[in-house]
Structure 1
Amino acid sequence: MKKQPGTTRRPAVNAPQEVRIIGGQWKRSKLPVSDRPGLRPTPARVRETLFNWLGQDLSGLRCLDAFAGTGALGLEAASRGALEVVLVEQDPGLVHQLSATKTRLKADAVRVERGDGVAALRQRSGQGLDVVFLDPPFGDDGNEPLYQAALQAARQALRDDGLIYLEAPRAWSDDELARLGLQLHRQGKAGAVAFHLLRLLPAE
């Protein structure tokens, strides 16, 4: 997860200087963690749970990591065989770091884009992505408008049976998700972080 203009949340004390990919062809490969406000890489135990939910083999899937940061989520998907992974990040330093990691891993299925995650999703409306990863910056106020906009844009970019991964400072309720045309598939909590796997709400 990533830096966003206006975000004041600081990294946790003793934040890791690197994280590791935990599965697939690049298992144990290190990903550097820059000292950036709001940068919170998804912990290994949460990624392990997520990819148990998604499946260990993501062959043929098209994914987008909308607030890429270290790239831990998107690169984990690529390591497990995803056909295409787009890493979107605003911070130019993190974009450079992601590009260097892509080159080091020879990650041909990965594309790095500098830009706004919500805008990138809106540009892909109707393109039928298989998985969208959303781990926006929390911010001191929870950044609710950003979460709302990201979920709405992700829904429009998703295929009918696609999935959205959402990491947030609180659990989202069924009613909140239903108003966005989404429903909860799986949910977990790790420390102060709530994580969700969401599906599109079936049309009536």
Structure 2
Amino acid sequence: MDAPAPSGPTGQSGLPADLEAFLDSGEPPIFVGFGSMSGSDPVGTTEAVLAATQRARVRAVLATGWGGLVADRARDDVFVLGEVPYAELFPRVAAVVHHGGAGTTGAAVAAGRPQVICPFVADQPFWGRRMHVLGVAPAPIDQRRLSPAELASAIRRVLDEQTFASKAEGLGALVRDEDGVMNAVELLEKVDGSTG
């Protein structure tokens, strides 16, 4: 599920002006956010993520969201935010690192971005496996055993191996071209038997 838009001054796209400035100041960053999926040690998870971004030599937008990650200040190469509309941000990042929730997965797919999925519970392992099978993500990394080295390696793979980006863009184009509302209406009419 997309997070609500943040309050405060925004740029032309609807993103906060300071985030716009960060996005425009260098290579496209990766996005890292785990929504509300905070394990027993969100501080440790955040430290692992920050160490991984440093190892992978990438700029990052770190979404603290609903508590999955915690950070009170950013490095020059990391922008920390609370909530952001994924549909606005994801097309402007190089890859999306997330927990595998259905909403975040769908937003990353629609944006045509490769993913690194670190599932925690519920349907998240399914989405991690599904994105891997579709070729838009490496094998999922269990968030409870997240290590900086493994996460950095997965990030570098989705950025360096062009297959991930090309498959992600192809999948995104399919999703963006689909008329989901009309398809749903047609299916409901078939079930109801009232096509007319």
What is the TM-score when the length of structure 1 is the normalising length? Answer: 0.41
Q: Point out which structure has higher relative CO (alpha carbons under 8 A, 6+ apart).
A: 2
Determine which structure has more spread, i.e. the larger CA radius of gyration: 2
Structure number with the higher strand fraction is 1
What is the TM-score when the length of structure 2 is the normalising length? Answer: 0.43
